[in-house]
Amino acid sequence: MKIIVLNGSPKGPASVTMQYVDFMRKKNSQHDFEIIHIAQQIRQIETSERFNEIIAAIKGADGILWAFPVYICLVHAHYKRFIELITERVAESAFQGKHTALLTTSIHFHDHTAHNYLHGICDDLDMKVYGSFSAGMHDLFNEQERKKLVQFSKGFFDAIDRDAPSSKVYAPLISPAFEYHPGANSAVLDSKGHKVLIVTDVENKQTNLSRMIERVSALFKEQVEVINLHHIDIKGSCLGCIRCGYDNTCCYQGKDGFIDFYNNKIKAADVLIFAGAVHDRYLSSLWKTFFDRAFFNTHIPSLAGKQIAFLISGPLRQLPNLRQIMEAYTQWQQANLVDFVTDEAYDSLAIDQLLDELAQRSLDDAKCQYIKPATFLGVGGRKIFRDEIWGKIRFPFATDHRFYKQSGFYDFPQQDYATRVRNLFLSSMIKIPVIRKKIYNKMMITKMIEPYQRLIAKL
């Protein structure tokens, strides 16, 4: 059978993901694999007949494999742009009814959100989704993991043979028509020296998003700077070259304006308001380029201590995956997520009130330098980075290793010697039946809270 592989790596055939595809191809040599390097060729795809050639190949295929590395909780910006082109050029019918599967490589940092996103896209395209396979970057060297990939591949091809049905996981998005018209400002807020920056990609001033931005900007006594990503000189998205791994120097250094913009504007702000509209199941590919290119900071939190808020036009309530991506982003950045405001209230006065509260809370939190505690999204992500940078990806990410050592990010629990001694003692004690019964039946609950009670009494 004919399998089209849509490669989402900007490195083309020289990507880790394609090595997994090559393994699949070797183990399934009876099938014809055609690999199309989407992310690497996006400029050609946008500006030539290449897009139509790809669509023709998809129409003639038995199965479609979306194969891509995870970039900042999602697909690469260039892959995202290709997905936008499908809708812009009305090519959805080529995908309808096609059997498909997803293959990613990553260190498992929010790989689930990337899978959720693309599964939703496949549902929107009315494809038959067999399933997804999330491989760790080094899993191909493990025999058991290779067996899993072989089994996954076989299941996918068998599903094509049987013309197996698949149930939809994600409902179509519904965006009711509504025009937001802001009312008069109720107050003007004194930012007291805190720099407020709004970053957006809005192009049309006659949109809800543009009006929301204007409303928020007018709420502050001091002038708020609004920067449009369309006006920043950005030559392209992240190339995955990892040049930044040694000292945070990007391969684009001196070639466009993004790095200066990020260092001089983004890092200098106290309150960051990111404003964008929903495009398919994320924001625009230009916003994705922003997040991808910011990776020249590697795995070092570059927005630590900042207040971050989101203005979203579109059905965010129907996209919990997108909301989770933004929550995860702020948490691993060690920033504070103030709130989201969307135009989904469908009531201009209600939106005015939400925007007023967003501005007020942003300044209140900035003044007291409030950072809310991280949830699993931040704690889990930080532990993944800690372990990977200590271990398998210390090279090439030398700058991360230096930073993590100096900043105490290497907080391995086995280095907590007091806890180790306590665990050794208590583990030995509970092996004695009489003591074990007394601890678990009578002492566990009260003894667990005694340290907290002593602390509160002291305070």
**pLDDT digits over 389-418, tens only?**
999 999 999 999 999 999 999 999 888 899
pLDDT(6) > 80:
yes
pLDDT(40) > 90:
yes
The amino acid sitting at 355 is L
Q: Give the global pTM.
A: 0.95
Q: How far apart are CA 439 and CA 429, in angstroms?
A: 10
Q: What is the pLDDT of residue 185?
A: 83
Angle between helices 320-332 and 111-124 (to 10 degrees): 160
Mean pLDDT over all residues of the chain? 96
pLDDT(186) > 80:
no
Q: Which two tokens stand for residue 426?
A: 């208590």
Alpha helices, DSSP H only, in 368-416?
A: 376-390, 398-407
Spell out the residues 6+ positions from residue 396 whose beta carbon is closer than 8 angstroms to its own: 242, 245, 246
Q: In what order do the strands lie in the sheet with 2-7?
A: 32-37, 2-7, 63-69, 99-106, 128-136
Q: In what order do the strands lie in the sheet with 225-228?
A: 225-228, 196-200, 271-277, 307-313, 336-342
Q: Are 274 and 234 in contact (CB under 8 A)?
A: no
Alpha helices, DSSP H only, in 89-180?
A: 111-124, 143-162
pLDDT(317) > 80:
yes
**71: confidence class by pLDDT, cuts 50, 70, 90:** very high
The pLDDT tens digits of the residues spanning 207-263 come to 999 999 999 999 999 889 999 999 999 999 999 999 999 999 999 999 999 999 999
